Amino acid sequence: MKCEKCNKNEATVFYREIINGKETKYALCATCAAEKEKESGLFTSFSPFGGDLLSGFFSPLVTGKKTVRDEKKCTLCGSTFREICSSSKAGCPVCYSVFREEFAPTLMKLHGNTVHRGRVPGRIEKEAEKKNEITELEKLLREAVAAEKYEEAAVLRDKIRTAKGEI
């Protein structure tokens, strides 16, 4: 089902608003849902301990028309997004990738439009360094080939293979 607002992305967030007894339903994609949140100023006081507020945001119709059997499950812990909603917590680290789009509006509300800055685990840093090294070696390889320095190119090619093996 397409998002009612942009008509481009898949609708993954379903709202049901009841104001003065009048019910309105929306089916939106993650991006449009986040914008709607900002516009209408809903949930302006978020409680970090708010099972109520957070799960209220997630529920009630998030998984829409899909049957229980069709519901997407996390590949590590088997959680559905419905379960995550009711506890307001992820089941495992992989949930954040599996349900990246579904999480987006909540994370926008909690943390704004920010990305992580600061400390990075050692292995991630090493991987990033290795990738930079490989990029540099590939550049030198292209230059060596262009200059017809084939022996040098062969050495560089071997170095690249080793470095790729290490990631």
Span 85-114, contacts to other proteins by CB under 8 A: 88-93, 96-97, 103, 106-107, 110-112, 114
Min dist. Cβ of residue 142 to other proteins (A): 27
- Residue 51, Cβ neighbours under 10 Å: how many? 12
Kindly tell me which of 69 and 123 has the beta carbon lying closer to other proteins: 123
Structural tokens at position 34: 């986040």
Min dist. Cβ of residue 91 to other proteins (A): 6
In this structure, is the dihedral angle defined by the CA atoms of residues 60, 62, 67 and 70, taken in order, positive or negative?
Answer: negative
Biggest alpha carbon distance in the chain?
Answer: 79
* Choice from 18, 19, 119, 151 touching other proteins (CB under 8 A): 119
Cα separation, 36 vs 38, in Å, equals 5
Kindly tell me which of 12 and 27 has the beta carbon lying closer to other proteins: 12
The DSSP element (H or E) to which 24 belongs, if any, is: strand 22-28
- Residue 97, Cβ neighbours under 10 Å: how many? 11
Q: For residue 167, state whether it binds other proteins (rule: CB under 8 A).
A: no
Min dist. Cβ of residue 69 to other proteins (A): 21
Kindly tell me which of 17 and 71 has the beta carbon lying closer to other proteins: 71
Closest CA to 14 of 71, 67, 65, 52: 65
Q: For residue 123, state whether it binds other proteins (rule: CB under 8 A).
A: yes
Q: For residue 48, state whether it binds other proteins (rule: CB under 8 A).
A: yes
Structural tokens at position 59: 């529920």
Residues that bind other proteins (CB under 8 A): 48, 54, 76-77, 79, 88-93, 96-97, 103, 106-107, 110-112, 114-124
